[in-house]
Structure 1
Amino acid sequence: MHPSSPFRILTVCTGNICRSPVAERLLQTGLNQAQPGAFEVRSAGTRAMVGRPIQRHSAEIIQRFGGYADNFAARQLTPGILQETDLVLTMATEHRGEVLRQDASLLKRTFTVREFARMLEVLGSNDPVSSGAGPMSNAGIAAFWRELPAKAAEVRYLSLPSVAGQDDVVDPYRRGPDAYRQMEDELAPALLAILRFARISAGG
Structure 2
Amino acid sequence: MAEHRAKHAETAFRILHVSTGNVCRSPITERLTRHALSHRLGSARTSGLIVESAGTWGHEGAPMEAHAATVLTDFGADPAGFLGRELLDEHVIRADLVLTATRDHRAQVISMGHSAGLRTFTLKEFTRLVRAIDPATLPDPEEAGGVVERARALVQAAAALRGWLLAPSEEADEVYDPYGAPITFFRSIGDEIHQALDPVVTALTGVPAPA
Q: How many residues align?
A: 199
CA shift for structure 1 position 106 = 0.6
| Residues 60-103 of structure 1 deviation map (CA, whole Å, 9 limit, x = unaligned) | 11122221101111000011111111110001011011101112
Q: Please state if 1:51 is matched with 2:58.
A: no
Flag structure 1 segments of 5+ consecutive residues without an equivalent.
none
Distance 1:163 1:185 in 2: 20
Instruction: Please say if residues 7 and 142 of structure 1, whose CA atoms lie closer than 8 Å, have aligned partners that are also in contact.
Output: yes
Deviates most, 162-171 or 83-92: 162-171
List structure 1 runs of 4+ shifted beyond 6 angstroms: none
| Residues 165-186 of structure 1 deviation map (CA, whole Å, 9 limit, x = unaligned) | 1101010001122321331232
Alignment partner, residue 105 of structure 2:
95
Cα distance change, pair 186–134 in 1 and its aligned pair in 2 (3 A): closer
Alignment partner, residue 3 of structure 2:
none
CA shift for structure 1 position 129 = 4.8
Among candidates 140, 147, 151, match of residue 157 of structure 2: 151
Instruction: Please say if residues 25 and 69 of structure 1, whose CA atoms lie closer than 8 Å, have aligned partners that are also in contact.
Output: yes
Deviates most, 193-202 or 158-167: 193-202
SS in 2 for 1:44: strand
Distance 2:188 2:52 in 1: 23
Flag structure 2 segments of 5+ consecutive residues without an equivalent.
1-5
CA RMSD after TM alignment: 2.2
Instruction: Please say if residues 62 and 83 of structure 2, whose CA atoms lie closer than 8 Å, have aligned partners that are also in contact.
Output: yes
CA shift for structure 1 position 4 = 3.9
Deviates most, 23-32 or 113-122: 23-32
Between the aligned residues of both structures, percent identity stands at 32
With structure 1 as the length reference, what TM-score do the two structures score? 0.88
Cα distance change, pair 157–105 in 1 and its aligned pair in 2 (3 A): closer
CA shift for structure 1 position 130 = 7.2
Cα distance change, pair 103–71 in 1 and its aligned pair in 2 (3 A): same
Alignment partner, residue 130 of structure 2:
120
